[in-house]
Structure 1
């Protein structure tokens, strides 16, 4: 199966310029995708493009990952309703290093002729003067051509308008394609479907400036079946950086995918063969409650992004909250991981000194914290056997807790019933 066929059956292909598939079938092709360095980490929204490069390389072609050190200073107007804040050079350099280290997990940079290569467009733009740019690049593309692009028309006709900075973005990205075509024999640019206008500006510049041939391919923008934006939660983006999104939260994001979305995501975000995916789908259809698609999807992506050990820890974290793993599991986690595990769970801070001589459990849960709204309610539920500290049922309202009960010398985990958790932090 060739590259384009791979994208088609996975439901990833959106647009393809005539002749692209023919050139890909003739031999090894160099192609690239650009990544936006507006943060020091990519997020799951970037994974579709990363997967495109992975499939491209697996099909025997040479992938280039372009990091937009220069274009990040401008900001792509495609799909945006307002102009973005411009980033400083120091911030961009920091972001570039973070993104580079992430891309190195997915692409093979040491595989011979089709080794992946990373480039930064700041390298060829830093000494490119404005006058030289408008003379050598701008004269080849008419304003009429640029105005016809949807990304430009939508902004110009909107409430905010468009600055000259953003208007020139398609020329800057077009020159990226020209530079890589000229210096690295890159004849294909890929990207999300919202990039089609910018990409074909590059093919047009190559044609008009040097009478060259270049090609374009775009993939579907990923959306949820319910129409909401993919990769966003109430807490914001799902990042690939473990410090921004814990591996546990990352795993849960995929595990909580709807059945309908899981059927498309497992094609897009894993490397499973067609037969394996169809087998998993049949198993899911026969017994939807088993959620085999979600489990296979979450496992595969978590391991590829964070590694086997973090996946195992994410499984244990799930079992801790929803299963039978004991409180001692928290001793395996650092502070950030504990707080990540209990993200969204009500938490309270108490003074460490309050526990030195021992603190009555009712006072702990109703006075020093608000686990219960009143001492009376705390006593009633304790007597009914429905309250626990550190996963051990509280035997009596007369029980007390001291620093010896703290997990990692800092935490107490309270429960009302089986699923209502509260994190108490002693400082």
Structure 2
């Protein structure tokens, strides 16, 4: 299957500057293509992954991806999707973010011995450019009228846009020209909000290299969930690739909890499962949705890709323990990860009667309610049901000497830290 046909089947193409020309190019040769990310933070989130998964598919089809880390553009700020100016970061902070994102990209994409992804930083070819060069060699090629008509700029005219952010599309155009001239890049891939920047780059290439220059642009559709909300966001915020910001268990659970209406779309976008495998899972969604086999496959594929086999197994182990109530099978570190977002209380290490202990912590509102729940078997400590009102809680109950897990009813967990 041609790479363009595969992307069409995966519904991963929004716009192309020249669909016939790009198909002909990809069928005739191995193509160099690029996608960029700005170092606005020290980690990517899953929304950033969407165009880079397309780059990876091109790589697997025998093409040559280039990943651009925007050490220069990251100091300016892309105005797309924003209604106000970004706060500029210090150059030192930008460099720290560049280093962090570079490490993430290497971990995710530099896994093959052959046909490896190339990583570049646009700061390398812009840092020595002076303002006269910028205005004479590049600014002269851009019409203000055309720039104002770009969606990314037009959407900001009412609220206001600085010259700094207005010039962003010129810098990104310079990137495409540089990569075309020095890395043989003929295709830029980006999100749908990058269409204006991509076409500006193509215009610059043709003005500098002639109208016969073969360069193309392709954008990815805007990803929305079935309920119309933005993909990749939860009540706790973005889903980060950095395990310190979003734990592998939380990452796994995000995908495992995907709505039936979205799961096939995500399998197509984010996994490298074959057409046949995805269609088989799609059938499972239609006939046996309660088994959630598609969600499990999605969660496993994505957690393995981002965090590796070992952390995938840990995430599955935490999930299984919480589902079954077998809390004691977990280590203290796994408990801390799995219960990160759950209600947390602190308690001393002295021995206490369970009724008094639950009320003092605030897990139970009153001794009467605590006695009633214990008598009914609604209270479990570390996965073991408590029925005796005389039960005592001691420091020895703490898993790893740190944590006691209280479950009230079927799903209400609380994490108690001993101090």
TM range (shorter): over 0.9
Displacement after TM superposition at 1:109 (Å)? 6.4
Whole-Å Cα distance in 1 between the matches of residues 5 and 71 of structure 2? Answer: 32
SS where residue 49 of structure 1 aligns? helix
Which residue in 2 is equivalent to 1:384?
Answer: 376
Equivalent residue runs for 1:5-404 within 5 Å:
5-18=5-18, 19-108=21-110, 111-112=113-114, 114-156=115-157, 158=158, 160-211=159-210, 212-325=213-326, 327-331=327-331, 333-334=332-333, 337-352=334-349, 355=350, 358-367=351-360, 369-404=361-396
Which sits farther off after the overlay, 95-104 or 128-137?
A: 95-104
Residues 270, 300 of structure 1: 8 Å contact kept: yes
CA shift for structure 1 position 111: 4.3
The alpha carbon displacement at 1:106 in A equals 3.2
Of residues 258-267 and 12-21 in structure 1, the stretch that sits farther from structure 2 once superposed is: 12-21
Q: Deviations over 1:313-338 (max 9, x none)?
A: 1111112211142x32232x42xx43
Cα RMSD (Å) = 1.4
C-alpha contact 2:70 2:122 (8 A) present in aligned 1: yes
Alpha-carbon shift at residue 209 of structure 1 (Å): 2.0
Give the unaligned 5+ runs of structure 1.
none
Per-residue CA deviation, residues 16-55 of structure 1 (Å, 9 max, x unaligned), is 1122222222101111000121111111101211211111
Task: Determine the C-alpha separation between the residues in 2 that align with 1:343 and 1:136.
Answer: 53
User: 1:221, CA displacement in angstroms?
Assistant: 1.7
2:344, 2:417 within 8 Å by CA — same for their partners in 1?
yes
Matched residues in 2 for 1:214 and 1:351: separation? 67
Q: Report SS of the residue matched to 2:161.
A: coil
For residue 278 of structure 1, report the CA deviation from its aligned partner: 0.9
CA–CA distance in structure 1, aligned partners of residues 83 and 355 of structure 2: 53
**1:160-205 deviations in Å (ceiling 9; x for gaps):** 2111111000000000001111111111111111101101101111
The answer on whether the counterparts of 2:375 and 2:388 sit within 8 Å (CA) in structure 1 is yes
Describe the shift of the 1:275–1:26 C-alpha distance in structure 2 as closer, same or farther (beyond 3 A). same
Q: SS in structure 1 opposite 2:330?
A: helix
* Alignment: residue pair count: 415
Distance in 2 (alpha carbons) for counterparts of 1:47 and 1:418 = 36
- Post-superposition shift, 1:302? 0.8
Deviates more, 1:272-281 or 1:98-107: 98-107
Shift of 1:134: 1.0
Distance 1:109 1:247, change over 3 A: closer
CA distance in 2, matches of 1:347, 1:8: 47
Partner SS state of residue 128, structure 1: coil
Distance 2:277 2:386 in 1: 48
Query: Do 2:32 and 2:63's aligned partners in 1 also have CA atoms closer than 8 Å?
Result: yes
SS where residue 412 of structure 1 aligns? strand
- Please give the TM-score of this superposition, normalised by the length of structure 2: 0.96
Identify unmatched segments of 5+ residues in structure 2: none
8 Å Cα contact 1:109/1:117 also seen in 2: no
Distance between the aligned counterparts of 2:117 and 2:111, measured in 1? Answer: 5
What is the alpha-carbon distance in structure 2 between the residues aligned to residue 110 and residue 295 of structure 1? 26
Matched-pair contact (CA < 8 Å) for 1:50–1:106: no
Q: 1:200 to 1:109 in 2, by over 3 A?
A: farther
CA distance in 2, matches of 1:390, 1:279: 39
Deviation at 1:146, TM superposition (A): 0.8
Is the 1:267–1:277 Cα contact (8 Å) retained in structure 2?
A: yes
TM-score (norm 1): 0.94
Is residue 2:408 matched to residue 1:416?
yes
Q: Distance in 1 between matches of 2:145 and 2:377?
A: 75
The 3-state SS of whatever aligns with 2:108 is coil
| Contact kept in structure 2, 1:263 and 1:293, CA below 8 Å | yes
> 1:407 & 1:273 partners in 2: Cα distance?
42
Structure 1 residue 116, shift from structure 2 partner: 1.1
The SS at the match of 1:191 is strand
Partner-residue secondary structure (3-state), 2:145: helix
